[in-house]
DNA sequence: CAGTGGTCTAGACCACTGC
DNA sequence: CAGTGGTCTAGACCACTGA
């Protein structure tokens, strides 16, 4: 009667208790030594469960995005809200909006949005970036990167890549925020955006991504190539915490 | 000089070797006891690395979708091809195509597609399904589920939910394939599809999903609600292997 | 300082695969 | 049968947190 492994029984029990509200969001689970004792009833002779087994159970919950850990503090329950990003319409494409597109989009949804650490750099295009922008391998690109917070919590990391000839002479190359929005700035310099192609993938986070997002859960990656009538003008790669984000697309079948 | 943990050094080294082609797709890595010896040079005194440490390294690679394991056999390198699904157009919406939409879509891409284990059931709608289809909680729905293979390998799991009143009297309620396609079948019964809304999320696989997909990597989940002019007519949930799948959307900004 | 999680070791027994 | 990975234990030392 193939019984489940111990670490899965522990994980299943903790998951059930968390979802039932026994450990509300933000609270700490019992410490690992305490859990060793708590689950001693699972041992035929009532001996305590070994620490590695407890840790294997906690690791599952961490990958599911249910809990996270802090060295020296403990394991705590993560907030379970999910934020839906409507991706089938580019915010700020229509001119004259006057505010930063991301902040505007989120304000509509009733959230507190914030951008941090805006940085600009000039780099050699990686093969992926060159392919997306249809550039020669090794061409120079301008990269603008930013960290985004939602209601004070880390939420996504974004990098936008512009072909050097396009960014040159625009505000995109300066390390400051573009008040009227980057799409409008491109339009003013003759690169009006008319369409884009998204590719959505998912994967485990890098160590840097996990550190910023405060999560070991998988990430949702949105790769967006925007183009004018003539050519690709921008590649934007956005990495979202997968446990709290969904991407939405509205599509009409028969135009 | 904060040196990296041992298991990360091992994982990084194996990852590099795999990507460099030292262990081509389909081949087996050295066994765990062998790897213990192989990395003894990382120990200051040249002693072998412990098995748990090796296993922690292999677990990372498994979550990244780089390798997979079979009990009694070993750890082998997974194929790294990725398949892009164009999701911004519903295959088979235009009437008169005559073949199954999924098989047609994939044949175009030059792949061998196959559906397996088509099953039909009547269930009570879960809260999520009821919300998507705008039904009363507890309403009955018809569920059609299928497993999909690509080039002979498991690729995705799909469940389609239809409101009972819509499926009744159509071929959707019978456990057989609908040769002219389910969208055409809906149209013939007065439920012509005119639009849909997708929500894309990602998460770790359940045990059943991991077993079928042969992968411990995260999954991409596509939730699609199709609607006629009057109402939602179908909810389709598709679970893709995240390591080999991207969803693509083409969007025009200014129609 | 005591308590927490992070890393690592050594060894045990089991279940599965293929010869 | 020998060799593989799957599970589990016991114990060690470290790094980080907060009182």
How do residues A78-132 score in pLDDT, each as one tens digit? 999 888 988 887 665 554 444 455 655 665 566 777 788 889 999 999 999 999 9
Copy the structure tokens of residue A98: 């006057």
Name the protein residue, with chain letter, whose CA is nearest the C1' of D3. Answer: B72
CA quadruple B163, B164, B170, B171: dihedral sign: positive
- Using pLDDT thresholds of 50, 70 and 90, give the confidence band for residue B22: very high
Chain A, chain B: beta-carbon pairs less than 8 Å apart: 125
- Using pLDDT thresholds of 50, 70 and 90, give the confidence band for residue B101: low
Length of chain B: 255
- Using pLDDT thresholds of 50, 70 and 90, give the confidence band for residue B182: confident
What is the structure's pLDDT at A55?
Answer: 97
A57 touches chain B (CB under 8 A): no
Residue with tokens 């748990």, as numbered in its chain:
B52
What is the structure's pLDDT at B97?
Answer: 43
B-chain residues near A82 (CB < 8 A)? 201
Q: Is the confidence at residue B1, as pLDDT, over 50?
A: no
In contact, A26 and A77? CB cutoff 8 Å: yes
A110 sits in the region (left: phi over 0; alpha: psi -120 to 50; else beta) called left
Q: Is the confidence at residue B124, as pLDDT, over 60?
A: yes
**Closest A-chain CA to B82:** A201
A89 touches chain B (CB under 8 A): yes
Which of B19, B90, B198, B222 to probe the A interface (max A CBs under 10 A)? B198
What is the structure's pLDDT at B104?
Answer: 54
What is the structure's pLDDT at A98?
Answer: 42
What is the structure's pLDDT at B86?
Answer: 87
**Closest B-chain CA to A90:** B253
Residues of chain A under the 70 pLDDT cut: 1-2, 90-110, 254-255
- The burial class, CB within 10 Å (0-12 / 13-18 / 19+), for B127 is exposed
Window from B31-40, B46-55, B113-122 with minimum mean pLDDT: B113-122
Coil vs helix vs strand at B191: coil
What is the structure's pLDDT at B25?
Answer: 95
Task: Please tell me whether any atom of strand C lies within 7 Å of the Cβ of A156.
Answer: no
Answer whether A6-77 and A85-248 agree in fold.
no
HSE on the CB side for A212, CA within 13 Å?
20
A124 touches chain B (CB under 8 A): no
What is the structure's pLDDT at B113?
Answer: 73
Please name which of A200, A129, A242, A194 lies closest in space to residue B249, comparing C-alpha atoms.
Answer: A200
B254·A194 Cβ contact <8 A: yes
Q: What is the distance in angstroms between the Cα of A222 and the nearest Cα belonging to chain B?
A: 10
Paired strand residues for A142: A122, A162
A249·B63 Cβ contact <8 A: no
Question: CA A72, C1' C1: Å apart?
Answer: 14
What is the structure's pLDDT at A2?
Answer: 58
Task: Give chain C positions with protein CB within 7 A.
Answer: 3-12, 15-18
**Annotated domain spans of chain A:** 6-77, 85-248
Q: What is the mean pLDDT of chain B?
A: 89
What is the structure's pLDDT at B116?
Answer: 83
B197 touches chain A (CB under 8 A): yes
B253·A90 Cβ contact <8 A: yes
Architecture of the domain defined by B83-248:
3-Layer(aba) Sandwich (3.40)
What is the structure's pLDDT at B51?
Answer: 96
Question: Does the B6-77 domain belong in CATH 3.40.640.10?
Answer: no
- CATH superfamily, region A85-248: Chorismate lyase-like (3.40.1410.10)
Task: Please tell me whether any atom of strand C lies within 7 Å of the Cβ of B73.
Answer: yes
Question: CA B57, C1' C14: Å apart?
Answer: 22
Average pLDDT of span B126-132: 95
* pTM for the predicted model, two decimal places: 0.91
């Amino acid at each position: 009667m193939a019984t489940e492994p111990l670490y899965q029984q522990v994980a299943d029990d903790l998951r059930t208790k968390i979802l039932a509200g026994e450990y509300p969001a933000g609270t700490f689970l019992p410490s690992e030594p305490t859990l060793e004792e708590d689950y001693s009833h699972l041992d035929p002779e009532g001996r305590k469960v070994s620490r590695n087994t407890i840790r294997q159970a906690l690791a599952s919950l961490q990958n599911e995005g249910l809990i996270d850990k802090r060295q020296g503090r403990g394991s705590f329950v993560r907030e379970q809200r999910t934020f839906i990003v409507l991706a089938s319409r580019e915010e700020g494409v229509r001119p004259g909006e006057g505010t930063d597109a991301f902040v505007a989009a989120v304000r509509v949804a009733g959230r507190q949005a914030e951008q941090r650490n805006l940085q600009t750099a000039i780099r050699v295009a990686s093969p992926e970036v060159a392919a997306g922008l249809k550039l020669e391998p090794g061409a120079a690109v301008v990269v603008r990167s930013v960290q985004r917070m939602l209601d004070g919590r880390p939420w996504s990391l974004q990098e936008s890549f512009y072909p050097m000839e396009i960014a040159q002479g625009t505000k995109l190359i300066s390390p400051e925020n573009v008040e009227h929005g980057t799409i409008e700035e491109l339009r003013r310099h003759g690169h009006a955006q008319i369409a884009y192609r998204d590719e959505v993938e998912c994967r485990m986070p890098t160590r840097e991504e996990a550190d910023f997002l405060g999560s070991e859960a998988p990430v949702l990656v949105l790769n967006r190539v925007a183009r004018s009538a003539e050519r690709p003008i921008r590649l934007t790669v956005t990495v979202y915490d997968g446990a709290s984000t969904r991407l939405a697309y509205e599509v009409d079948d028969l135009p």
